[in-house]
Amino acid sequence: MTTTFSTTAFSATTRMRRHLISLFGRYRDEFQEWRRRGKLRRDLCALDDRELQDIAIARGEVDYVVSSHFVDPREGAMNFKAKILMAGLVLCLLNLAPAIGADIKQVSVNGKQFAYVEAGQGDPVVLVHGGLQDYRFWNSHLPVFAKSHRVIAYSRQNHFPNATSKDGLPDGAADVHGEDLAALLAALGIASAHIVAHSSGAHAALFFAANHPEAVRTLVINEPPAAALLAGAPGGNDVLKQWGARFAPARQAFEKDDLDAGLRFFAEAVGGPGTYDRRSESERKMMADNALSAVADAIATRPRPMFTCDMAKRISAPTLVTNGDHSPEFFHRIVDELVRCLPRRTRVEISGSSHTVPGEAPQAYDEAVLSFIASH
């Protein structure tokens, strides 16, 4: 059964989005002006008194100089502030809204509700997000894929806006998430699809493709944390120990329900120092909305599923394996093993990106994926 998701907080019609874009166009200049004004103030305040004297400005005159440099004297301060607030509101709503023209829908799968969005027509492409993410991770990719395909992005079990709980399904339960994907396709009447998946979503997609090879037209996976592939591989145990130490602060923070610290440590474990600070407000909000799935993962007593080389050999679909050139060695070595085990594989390394390739290099990623799908 498929229904449109009716909660207004989670849906945005095309008309509403056009209105928001119109408002954004009206206030974009004011918002950019405000940002330039803030930058000038910070730059001036960073100067010492001698440097300010060299440019004929007293420290007490900084605010006056900044204001008169950017703000029309005929415009009242309250009017300017109101425009800035409006611009900020518009930007926030645009960030939170789903892809243009897409309403969030729900489908009932094995007694659970899964949220998804879709766009376009043609052969189906299903997008599967990673940890601390949901369908919104693919918002910028939907219109690109929708030019030539019917594209669907859904939120996995225990991820926003589905019901979430620290007692719910762990993010790392890739075998269950893989079966959820199979049931989702069946519920949507899709016999086979191109599967495009990232991180823990890619781990789930591997289980899905191994257990349901007939349902996969092509498979695209970006850096799945399929750690079992390293067991027995040359140097694999050392890599696993190093990764365990690197990820330990995030796991320990989530175990203690210290969500803020857990989100930061998680981002920096997979992406390197400074990754969390580089992420946008909308990306951080998405991480926070899905924090309980990470807590569930940290406190889980359920044995982690093991995806093996023998399972990879059962995947008959053409498979594109992507990774970032700046990703941790843990992910590079897993990709090495997948390339060794998968029967029909192509490897593409995306330059200038770390683990979150679709988010850090979206244009290069989309080009690689669409080219691969078109060639098969």
- Tens of pLDDT, residue by residue over 342-374, are 999 999 999 999 999 999 999 999 999 999 999
In the sheet with 150-154, reading across from the earlier edge strand, the strands are 2-4, 105-109, 112-119, 150-154, 124-128, 193-198, 216-222, 319-324, 345-350
Burial class (CB in 10 A: 0-12, 13-18, 19+), 42: exposed
Of the chain, the percentage scoring pLDDT greater than 90 comes to 72
Instruction: Note whether 68 and 178 are same-domain residues.
Output: no
Query: Do you know the residue count of the chain?
Result: 376
What per-residue confidence (pLDDT) applies to 17? Answer: 46
Q: Which residue, 248, 260, 224, is CA-closest to 298?
A: 248
What per-residue confidence (pLDDT) applies to 257? Answer: 97
CATH number of the domain that residue 140 is part of: 3.40.50.1820
**pLDDT exceeds 60 at position 29:** no
pLDDT digits (tens, 9 = 90+) for 146-193: 999 999 999 999 999 999 999 999 999 999 999 999 999 999 999 999
Instruction: Note whether 340 and 211 are same-domain residues.
Output: yes
Which residue type sits at 5? F
**pLDDT exceeds 70 at position 286:** yes
What per-residue confidence (pLDDT) applies to 98? Answer: 47
Instruction: Note whether 120 and 209 are same-domain residues.
Output: yes
Domain that holds residue 76: 14-96
Instruction: Note whether 36 and 173 are same-domain residues.
Output: no
Mean pLDDT of the chain: 85
Neighbours of 210 (CB within 10 A): 21
**pLDDT exceeds 50 at position 15:** no
Whether residue 4 is contained in a domain is answered as no
| Among candidate residues 64, 96, 128, the one where a domain is terminated | 96
Instruction: Note whether 175 and 44 are same-domain residues.
Output: no
Instruction: Note whether 309 and 251 are same-domain residues.
Output: yes
What per-residue confidence (pLDDT) applies to 76? Answer: 47
Whether residue 2 is contained in a domain is answered as no
| Among candidate residues 96, 113, 129, the one where a domain is terminated | 96
pLDDT digits (tens, 9 = 90+) for 217-245: 999 999 999 999 999 899 999 999 999 99
Number of compact structural domains in the chain? 2
Distance CA 346, CA 227 (A): 20
What per-residue confidence (pLDDT) applies to 58? Answer: 60
Which stretch of 29-33, 97-101, 122-126 has the lowest confidence by average pLDDT? Answer: 97-101
Tell me the mean pLDDT in the region 261-265: 98
**pLDDT exceeds 60 at position 67:** no
**pLDDT exceeds 50 at position 94:** no
pLDDT digits (tens, 9 = 90+) for 134-157: 999 999 999 999 999 999 999 999
Tell me the mean pLDDT in the region 282-293: 98
Whether residue 3 is contained in a domain is answered as no
Distance CA 53, CA 71 (A): 24
Which of the 8 DSSP states describes residue 347? E
Instruction: Note whether 165 and 262 are same-domain residues.
Output: yes
